Structure 1
């Protein structure tokens, strides 16, 4: 029998989980339009919770940025799984890559803050690299198995290419160019 002084971990309450999700959604929206310096009070207001609730979940601005980033990575992973089930392999890969471009386009206001968080956390880099690489691997492997995609590119190569496309775009209207480059790259992956 466990001693009574030892605390047992309880599952978070439903309202706590709901508040955390509301805060992540609000932070994503506020930071994407107001930049990384947008007020945390505005995030709490948008989520419909008090500032104390925000700080209980995310004690620092960096903790909130990291949580938003992880949430976005998880959404991209989930999207890859859905696309792998429902759409032919090459189109699934193309749609997933396009979703990445759209995500970066809508998150331009957050990029500076997210880069600061990512540069400071090797665990966060490893988490996002592993999750995104696994998502790409799922989509690539389907394409290779179907005979539609070449087998000589790794998920890591594709992720590096995608990041390169994002960082090479300096103009305000970079999204159409990035989407076109993704399409050219995916077409180059097709087996002839």
Structure 2
């Protein structure tokens, strides 16, 4: 009988996660845990047993996308232009945060250095982006005092500020580019 319960628990987890992904995509980090439970056909206690906090739910929903971003950072680590590689990866983070509305909120939970918990979205993003930033700093391609925490905080702010606007992807990328280039006219 315990094996059957474990199989049921695994099925419940998978069903809850699939429903949660759709709800978070539709409603962002404010997705209703009760609605997730109803749609998944389980009780709210079952949802809370698998995901005791909203943060745990958002991290689980965002896990696959964060892994794609980690892999993308590794792919870009050998690019000839370290600044372009960093900016391309940060642009990918903007895109993913806009597409996966809960990702920005999941990242926002762990902004301060040293606070990301093991296996959290923020820790993975920081670990992925830090070598790209470090290389760009060593190459003199970005300001030497820039930190990955500042860059991710900027992306989170832009994403959260634009997520309810018409065409949030375009607006988020435009604001991100403005932040990178500044207000000065280009020569």
Name the TM tier (shorter chain): 0.5 to 0.7
- Whole-Å Cα distance in 1 between the matches of residues 15 and 151 of structure 2? 33
- Whole-Å Cα distance in 1 between the matches of residues 13 and 133 of structure 2? 33
**How far apart are 1:21 and its partner, in Å?**
7.9
**How far apart are 1:89 and its partner, in Å?**
1.6
- Whole-Å Cα distance in 1 between the matches of residues 94 and 66 of structure 2? 13
User: Which residue is equivalent to 1:165?
Assistant: 158
Q: Do the aligned partners of 1:94 and 1:183 also contact (CA within 8 Å) in 2? A: no
User: Which moves more between the two structures, 134-143 or 179-188?
Assistant: 179-188
User: Which residue is equivalent to 1:145?
Assistant: 138
**How far apart are 1:180 and its partner, in Å?**
1.9
User: Which residue is equivalent to 1:39?
Assistant: 36
Q: Any stretches of 5+ residues in structure 2 without a counterpart?
A: 1-8, 183-187
Q: Do the aligned partners of 2:62 and 2:103 also contact (CA within 8 Å) in 1? A: no
1:43-58 matched pairs, under 5 angstroms: 58=50
**How far apart are 1:73 and its partner, in Å?**
3.1
Q: Do the aligned partners of 2:76 and 2:85 also contact (CA within 8 Å) in 1? A: yes
- Whole-Å Cα distance in 1 between the matches of residues 161 and 147 of structure 2? 21
TM-score by length of structure 2 reads 0.59
Q: Do the aligned partners of 2:17 and 2:60 also contact (CA within 8 Å) in 1? A: yes
- Whole-Å Cα distance in 1 between the matches of residues 175 and 81 of structure 2? 21
Q: Any stretches of 5+ residues in structure 1 without a counterpart?
A: 1-15, 46-50
Q: Does 1:126 align with 2:116?
A: yes
Let me know the Cα RMSD of the aligned residues.
4.2
User: Which residue is equivalent to 2:169?
Assistant: 175
TM-score by length of structure 1 reads 0.58
User: Which moves more between the two structures, 169-178 or 132-141?
Assistant: 169-178
Q: Do the aligned partners of 1:40 and 1:61 also contact (CA within 8 Å) in 2? A: no
- Whole-Å Cα distance in 1 between the matches of residues 13 and 75 of structure 2? 24
- Whole-Å Cα distance in 2 between the matches of residues 96 and 25 of structure 1? 27
- Whole-Å Cα distance in 2 between the matches of residues 151 and 172 of structure 1? 36
Q: Do the aligned partners of 1:94 and 1:182 also contact (CA within 8 Å) in 2? A: no
User: Which residue is equivalent to 2:94?
Assistant: 101
